[in-house]
Amino acid sequence: MVDWKLFASTFAAIFVAEIGDKTQLATLSLASGGSSRWVVFAGAALALVATSALAVLGGEALTRVVPVVWLRRAAGVAFLVLGVLFLLSRPENG
């Protein structure tokens, strides 16, 4: 049975995270200069599927060694640290 709530939350999180990132900008650039937008779409889609598969396999393997609660805590701390570093960083040209 499909867990539709998990499916929807995963889709929403990845969709929002991918909007405007370097992968999307690279795909946009390739599509604008290429002769076949469908080939660019297929290549980009396959690449995202492959990296997602690696993440799922890695996450599954990691949860066999580390409890999920600690993985979530570590991810939360990592996001907080990166956010603080981002806020404290000064622009190179300003």
In a domain, 84, yes or no: no
In a domain, 37, yes or no: yes
Instruction: Answer with the residue of higher pLDDT: 33 or 56.
Output: 56
Query: Residue 94 pLDDT > 70, yes or no?
Result: no
Q: Tens digits of per-residue pLDDT, 56-89? A: 999 999 999 999 999 999 999 999 999 999 899 8
Helix ranges, 34-67 (H): 37-63
Instruction: Give residue 33's pLDDT.
Output: 84
* Inter-residue contact 48 to 26 (CB < 8 Å): no
In a domain, 28, yes or no: yes
- In which domain, by residue range, is 24 found? 4-65
d(CA 44, CA 48): 6
Question: What is the longest distance spanned by two Cα atoms in the chain?
Answer: 53
In a domain, 78, yes or no: no
DSSP one-letter code for 91 = P
> How many independent structural domains does the chain possess?
1
